[in-house]
């Protein structure tokens, strides 16, 4: 069955037109990712209007290509100029730029490219194998569970805002509220239209996304008049030849870093809201901790390029697993992909892979193909990158603002969408300026309908709200939502307040309860392991006399 689906997807994507579109997508993504100030999400968002007229597998393959290209593009700018092209390649510059300055830019680029490729392939394999399994678990979900899953996704996304968690939660709630404007999903009653017929249809999700994300980012990019007139070449970009053979040898010597970092990337991608920007730092940090020579990190060593580049390319596989299996986008880019599926009347849910195998497997296959294309195109795009870096930021921003107008109008052929773009552009700009994270708001906009529909379904079954807290899966999501909400507080007080000693054991005890309630064989075993780990941690801390000691600011050491 799986082989049949893979073959069908290959046939669907195996046209010259699709291949050309994918190549253009990867090339565009590589360039977009390489330009500092232009995010991958922005590139994917701006690609969406072009895919309206395409069949769903072809359109999604094009978007996946942009995504894969964008993930790898950031390393070019990071290594050659020291300015990360995207937030997901920040850690690449720590060792990539010093290695390039030491006179080995070709090796640095080669290591970056092959690490990206390896991370992408590992993540693609996990995507194909894990997504259908996770979807099977998702079939157990009832409306109560789904509602709680959405609440968990919003909470964890907001908690990633760290000390600004309240702002993150406000942004998430605002996103949910934006989605209520217009006719309600369940019975079609008008809400918040203030007498306007235009507002009855609500705000178009894509126009809101482009406004919040792309429009507001472009305005930030041109805020400084002096910086806006500068181009990247002022920083001294040079053309180099990528040293593929040497790079492959270096990577093969450090395959454990590749595997570990890719797994970190996939896991980070599965968590809603946590993207490449977190994964690359996390993988770099882990590689440094595991290294026999941590002091060499930052001086231009291969390990410091392999770890962040493997992880940031693996992130999207994880995010796609979550989106395709459960219909919950892992990050902003997969939120846009979800929007693309909705435009093609496909609603991602646990039944998505079973009901729409052609589209699902087209996404899997295009992820694979795009990763190979990225490898082939990287050398060529490096020359284009050098040309693009000569363009001044204000020219790019001005032209893309013009593109935004045309692209957004093309969604529904109505002028109102372009007004939506500009109003949400202003809102996004203000939110960024006042320190409100945009990711929870975007997830709120994407997931608002799903939350309300499932709440309506749950209420139609019974008006009793106790199943939200007594059903195993909803209790599970509720529990981890609570602990993720408290996590920023825990991080802030770790090593300083005694209650933080109990955070992990209590979290383990609490999570084991719904796992036991799920029944079967595997889950109670898992629950027992989690419970035992919590008890062991508590026992060790008790043995240490509940002592705290802060090492290097935050690290906790039990005596």
Partner 1 sequence: MDRLNRDAIIAIVLLVFCGVFFWATFDIRQPDYGVLMPSTWPRVILGVLSFLSVIYLVQYLRQGADETELEDTTREPGIRGWVLYWRNPLWCFGLFFVYLATLPMLGMLIGGVSFVFVLLNVLGGWDRKNLVLHAAVALLAIGGMWSLFTFGLGVLLPPGMILGQF
Taking the complex as a whole, the smallest distance from the CB of residue 332 to partner 1 amounts, in Å, to 21
Sole window of 236-244, 245-253, 455-463, 529-537 interacting with partner 1 (rule: CB under 8 A): 455-463
Q: Name which of 456 and 504 has its Cβ closer to partner 1.
A: 456
Kindly tell me which residue out of 6, 177, 482, 506 binds partner 1, with binding defined by CB under 8 A: 177
* Distance in angstroms (rounded) separating the CA atoms of residues 386 and 394: 17
Q: Name which of 138 and 172 has its Cβ closer to partner 1.
A: 172
Cα angle 347, 153, 317; round to 5: 65
- Please report whether residue 281 would count as binding partner 1 according to CB under 8 A: no
* Distance in angstroms (rounded) separating the CA atoms of residues 315 and 318: 5
Taking the complex as a whole, the smallest distance from the CB of residue 303 to partner 1 amounts, in Å, to 31
Sole window of 78-86, 248-256, 458-466, 529-537 interacting with partner 1 (rule: CB under 8 A): 458-466
Residue 96, token pair as written in the block:
């990539």
Sole window of 110-118, 406-414, 474-482, 495-503 interacting with partner 1 (rule: CB under 8 A): 406-414
Tally of CB atoms within 10 A around 392: 16
Q: Name which of 267 and 394 has its Cβ closer to partner 1.
A: 394
Q: Which residues contact 541 (CB under 8 A, 6 or more apart)?
A: 501, 505, 558
Kindly tell me which residue out of 24, 125, 190, 485 binds partner 1, with binding defined by CB under 8 A: 190
Q: Please report the beta strands in 143-226, taking only residues with DSSP state E, as ranges in sequence order.
A: 182-183, 190-191
Sole window of 314-322, 399-407, 492-500, 525-533 interacting with partner 1 (rule: CB under 8 A): 399-407
- Please report whether residue 87 would count as binding partner 1 according to CB under 8 A: no
- Please report whether residue 187 would count as binding partner 1 according to CB under 8 A: yes
Residue 182's DSSP bridge partners are: 191
- Please report whether residue 191 would count as binding partner 1 according to CB under 8 A: yes
Contact, 42 vs 29, CB < 8 A?
no
Number of residues that bind partner 1 (CB under 8 A): 60
**Which helix (H) or strand (E) element contains residue 556?**
strand 555-556
Q: Name which of 399 and 529 has its Cβ closer to partner 1.
A: 399
Q: Name which of 374 and 439 has its Cβ closer to partner 1.
A: 439
Sort 177 into a burial class: Cβ within 10 Å, 0-12 / 13-18 / 19+.
Answer: middle
Kindly tell me which residue out of 16, 292, 345, 413 binds partner 1, with binding defined by CB under 8 A: 413
- Please report whether residue 17 would count as binding partner 1 according to CB under 8 A: no
Q: Which residues contact 205 (CB under 8 A, 6 or more apart)?
A: 179, 339, 342, 445, 446
Helix/strand/coil (H/E/C) assignment for every residue in 380-395? HHHHHHHHHCCCCHHH
- Please report whether residue 399 would count as binding partner 1 according to CB under 8 A: yes
Kindly tell me which residue out of 346, 384, 410, 517 binds partner 1, with binding defined by CB under 8 A: 410
- Alpha-helical (H) ranges within 462-521 are 467-470, 472-493, 503-517
Q: Name which of 175 and 534 has its Cβ closer to partner 1.
A: 175
Sort 244 into a burial class: Cβ within 10 Å, 0-12 / 13-18 / 19+.
Answer: middle
Taking the complex as a whole, the smallest distance from the CB of residue 451 to partner 1 amounts, in Å, to 8
Sole window of 12-20, 249-257, 377-385, 405-413 interacting with partner 1 (rule: CB under 8 A): 405-413
* Distance in angstroms (rounded) separating the CA atoms of residues 551 and 557: 7
Kindly tell me which residue out of 55, 82, 298, 398 binds partner 1, with binding defined by CB under 8 A: 398
Contact, 493 vs 500, CB < 8 A?
yes
Contact, 119 vs 313, CB < 8 A?
yes
Binding mask of the shown chain, residues 219 to 258, with x at each position contacting partner 1 by CB under 8 A: xx-xxxx--xx-----------------------------
**The dihedral of CA 430, 436, 437, 442: what is its sign?**
negative
Best CA proximity match to 318, nearest among 387, 367, 365, 271 = 271
- Please report whether residue 294 would count as binding partner 1 according to CB under 8 A: no
- Please report whether residue 55 would count as binding partner 1 according to CB under 8 A: no
Kindly tell me which residue out of 53, 103, 520, 553 binds partner 1, with binding defined by CB under 8 A: 53
Residue 299's DSSP bridge partners are: none
- Please report whether residue 418 would count as binding partner 1 according to CB under 8 A: yes
* Contacts of partner 1 in 142-161 (CB under 8 A): none
Residue 213 has what DSSP assignment? I
Taking the complex as a whole, the smallest distance from the CB of residue 315 to partner 1 amounts, in Å, to 26
Q: Please, what is the angle between helix 393-412 and helix 415-433, to 10°?
A: 130
Binding mask of the shown chain, residues 432 to 451, with x at each position contacting partner 1 by CB under 8 A: --xx---------------x
- Please report whether residue 218 would count as binding partner 1 according to CB under 8 A: yes
Kindly tell me which residue out of 8, 134, 186, 384 binds partner 1, with binding defined by CB under 8 A: 186
Residue 298, token pair as written in the block:
């930052």
Contact, 191 vs 452, CB < 8 A?
no
Q: Which long-range contacts (CB under 8 A, 24 or more apart) does 503-509 make?
A: 504/534, 504/537, 505/534, 505/535, 505/537, 505/538, 505/541, 506/534, 507/483, 507/534, 508/533, 508/534, 508/535, 508/537, 509/534
Kindly tell me which residue out of 6, 19, 24, 52 binds partner 1, with binding defined by CB under 8 A: 52
Sole window of 269-277, 420-428, 502-510, 548-556 interacting with partner 1 (rule: CB under 8 A): 420-428
Using CB under 8 A, list all residues that contact partner 1. 49-50, 52-53, 166-167, 169-170, 173-174, 176-177, 180, 184, 186-187, 189-192, 194, 218-220, 222-225, 228-229, 392, 394-395, 397-399, 401-403, 405-406, 409-410, 413, 415, 418-419, 422, 425-426, 429, 434-435, 451-452, 455-456, 459-460, 463
């Amino acid at each position: 069955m799986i082989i049949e689906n893979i073959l069908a997807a290959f046939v669907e994507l195996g046209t010259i037109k699709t291949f050309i579109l994918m190549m253009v997508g990867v090339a565009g993504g590589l360039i977009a990712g390489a330009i500092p100030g232009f995010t991958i999400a922005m590139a994917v968002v701006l690609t969406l209007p072009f895919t309206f007229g395409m069949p769903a597998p072809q359109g999604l393959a094009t978007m996946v290509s942009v995504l894969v290209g964008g993930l790898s593009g950031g390393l070019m700018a990071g290594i050659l100029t020291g300015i990360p092209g995207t937030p997901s390649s920040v850690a690449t510059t720590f060792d990539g730029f010093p290695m390039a300055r030491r006179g080995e830019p070709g090796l640095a680029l080669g290591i970056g490219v092959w690490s990206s490729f390896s991370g992408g392939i590992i993540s693609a394999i996990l995507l194909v194998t894990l997504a259908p399994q996770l979807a099977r678990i998702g079939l157990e979900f009832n409306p109560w569970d789904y509602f709680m899953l959405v609440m968990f996704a919003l909470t964890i996304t907001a908690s990633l805002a760290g000390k600004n968690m309240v702002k993150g939660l406000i942004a998430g709630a605002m996103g949910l509220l934006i989605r209520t404007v217009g006719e309600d999903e369940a019975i079609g009653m008008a809400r918040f239209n203030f007498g306007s017929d235009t507002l009855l249809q609500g705000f178009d999700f894509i126009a809101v996304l482009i406004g919040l994300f792309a429009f507001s980012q472009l305005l930030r990019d041109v805020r400084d008049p002096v910086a806006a007139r500068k181009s990247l070449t002022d920083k001294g970009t040079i053309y180099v030849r990528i040293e593929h053979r040497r790079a492959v040898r270096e990577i093969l010597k450090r395959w454990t870093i590749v595997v570990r970092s890719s797994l970190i990337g996939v896991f980070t991608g599965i968590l809603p809201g946590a993207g490449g920007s977190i994964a690359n730092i996390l993988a770099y940090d882990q590689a440094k901790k595991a290294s026999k020579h941590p002091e060499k990190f930052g001086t231009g060593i291969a390990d410091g390029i392999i770890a962040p580049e493997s992880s940031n390319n693996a992130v999207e596989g994880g995010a796609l697993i979550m989106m395709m299996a459960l219909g919950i986008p892992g990050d902003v880019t997969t939120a846009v992909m979800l929007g693309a599926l909705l435009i093609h009347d496909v609603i991602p849910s646990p039944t998505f892979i079973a009901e729409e195998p052609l589209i699902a497997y087209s996404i899997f296959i295009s992820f694979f193909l795009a990763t190979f294309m990225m490898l082939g195109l990287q050398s060529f795009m490096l020359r284009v990158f050098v040309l693009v870096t000569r363009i001044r930021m204000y020219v790019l921003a001005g032209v893309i603002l013009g593109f935004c107008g045309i692209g957004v109008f093309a969604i529904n052929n109505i002028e109102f969408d372009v007004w939506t773009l500009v109003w949400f552009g202003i809102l996004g700009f203000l939110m960024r300026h006042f320190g409100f994270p945009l990711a929870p708001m975007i997830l709120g906009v994407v997931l608002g309908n799903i939350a309300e529909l499932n709440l309506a379904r749950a209420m139609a079954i019974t008006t009793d709200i106790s199943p939200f807290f007594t059903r195993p899966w909803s209790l599970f999501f509720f529990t981890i939502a609570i602990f993720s909400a408290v996590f920023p507080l825990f991080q802030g007080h770790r090593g300083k307040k005694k209650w933080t000693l109990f955070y992990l054991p209590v979290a383990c005890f609490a999570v084991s309860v719904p796992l036991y309630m799920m029944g079967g064989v595997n889950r109670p075993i898992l629950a027992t392991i989690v419970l035992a780990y919590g008890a062991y941690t508590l026992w060790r801390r008790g043995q240490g006399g509940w002592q705290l000691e802060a090492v290097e600011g935050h690290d906790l050491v039990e005596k």
